[in-house]
A and B are shown apart, each in its own frame.
Chain A
Amino acid sequence: MKISFPRHILYLTLFSIFMIIFTIWFAMDKLIPMGKEYRKNHIKLKKEKIDLARYQDFYDKTLKHFNQTKAKNRHIIEALENRFDPTRFKTKYGKYFIDLSLSKISDANQSKWYEIYEVQTTSKIKSPTNFYNFLEALNKSEWIIGVTFPIDFTREGELIHSSFKMQVYKKSDETNSTANENSKKPAKGKS
């Protein structure tokens, strides 16, 4: 029995077989791995987005805390940044005494956190409360000032001379620049 098979059908069959093999190879070798990769990346991206939202949330909370801390301690921050002015100090606190004089003590071993001033005051013996008022007023001053020991009181007739040292706290230049950098950086991260 002879089967008649036109030649062009044979070519078409061979062409179709080749195409089918190519399609299967392409799907198996390229499309399926890429599809798997796509799924993996999709899940990874979703996770990263959740993680980023967590970071953003933590950032917002930290920023809120930072602003609250800054607002709460504004007076202290400004007081440490203020440059001490002896003339202004004398004008402001001279009212508590008959006489008030102060001089800076230069000491090589001095701390970078504060400057030391020697203060001498004269007040009337009948008004010792002025000294207490002065100490009370120091706590509300525009600088951070701590009175240190020893404190000498000497009576001379109707007057009391007192002498003591006070530490005027300041931000050291080193910490000042670091703090400034730190306080600038959060704004950059703000979105």
Chain B
Amino acid sequence: MKYSYITPRKKSLLTKEAVLILTFFSISFFLLFSTYAFLLFKEYRFQKELQSIYDKKAELKTSIANMKASIAFIEEEAALANKVYTTNSVLKDSIANLFDLVPDRITLSKAKILKNGLILYGITPNKDVYAYMLEAPLRSIFAKTHTSFYQLPNGWLKFVSTNYLDNEFEDFINED
């Protein structure tokens, strides 16, 4: 049995205005908080990425320093080896020059090549041959030259020629 001619109005907990306002603020807060969350996430990512860049840079720095040290070491080794090679070549030329220096008429019995000098032992037919053919070229090479002669029974002369490049060697010879 009906008591009214109109259909009853539906009643809700919230009014239309309240729903509108709540919807508006809900959307606003959603946007605000999602932006905040996005920024927080980005901050975290930046920190992670920066840390990995710093680690990578430190690793590269160490590697570069190690490589530089290795390069310096290899260059040092190469310099040493080249110095040795040059010394050997110079030595070879010096010995070749020494033997070329001695004329056929003079016979060497012993030669001592020192760092700063040369000591020759040998025999010569006479002093003139020695003076012109061996002493003259020796004098042009060495700063000081000294020769002692000893008479041999066959008339030839035995000689000992000490030649040096500087005074230090003279002291060395005297000590010897």
Q: Chain A interface (Cβ within 8 Å of chain B)?
A: 8-9, 12, 15-16, 19, 23, 26-27, 30-31, 34-35, 37-38, 41-42, 44-45, 48-49, 51-52, 55-56, 58-59, 62-63, 65-66, 69-70, 72-73, 76-77, 79-80, 113, 128, 131-132, 135-136, 138-139, 144-147, 149-155, 167, 169, 175, 178-179, 181-183, 185-186, 188-191
Contacts and interface: CB of A to CB of B under 8 A. Distances in A.
Contacts of A154: 109-110
A40 to B, nearest CB: 10
A76 B77 contact: yes
A175 B18 contact: no
B9 to A, nearest CB: 16
Given A23-B32, A44-B50, A150-B115, A189 B59 contact: yes
B113 A189 contact: no
Nearest to A134: B92
Contacts of B4: none
A158 to B, nearest CB: 12
13 contacts: A12-B21, A35-B39, A55-B56, A55-B60, A70-B74, A113-B80, A135-B91, A136-B92, A139-B85, A139-B89, A145-B84, A151-B95, A186-B66
Interface of B is mostly: helix
B142 to A, nearest CB: 15
B46 interface: yes
B136 interface: no
B40 interface: yes
A51 B43 contact: no
A138 B86 CA distance: 11
A8 B18 CA distance: 9
B6 interface: no
B21 A45 contact: no
A132 B107 CA distance: 20
Given A66-B67, A185-B62, A169 B81 contact: yes
Contacts of A23: 28-29, 32
Interface of B: 15, 17-18, 21, 25, 28-29, 32, 35-36, 39-40, 42-43, 46, 49-50, 53-54, 56-57, 59-64, 66-71, 73-75, 77-78, 80-81, 84-85, 87-89, 91-92, 95-96, 99, 107-115
Given A34-B39, A152-B112, A12 B18 contact: yes
A182 B70 contact: yes
A146 B84 contact: yes
A176 to B, nearest CB: 11
Contacts of B17: 8-9, 12
Contact of B71 (A37, A51, A69): A69
A111 to B, nearest CB: 11
B166 to A, nearest CB: 14
Contacts of A145: 84, 88
B43 A34 contact: yes
A41 B81 contact: no
B138 to A, nearest CB: 16
Given A59-B64, A76-B77, A169-B81, A149 B28 contact: no
Contacts of A12: 15, 17-18, 21
Contact of B80 (A66, A169, A185, A189): A169
Given A52-B57, A72-B78, 14 more contacts: A23-B28, A42-B46, A55-B61, A66-B70, A69-B71, A70-B74, A139-B85, A145-B84, A145-B88, A149-B113, A150-B114, A154-B109, A169-B80, A182-B66
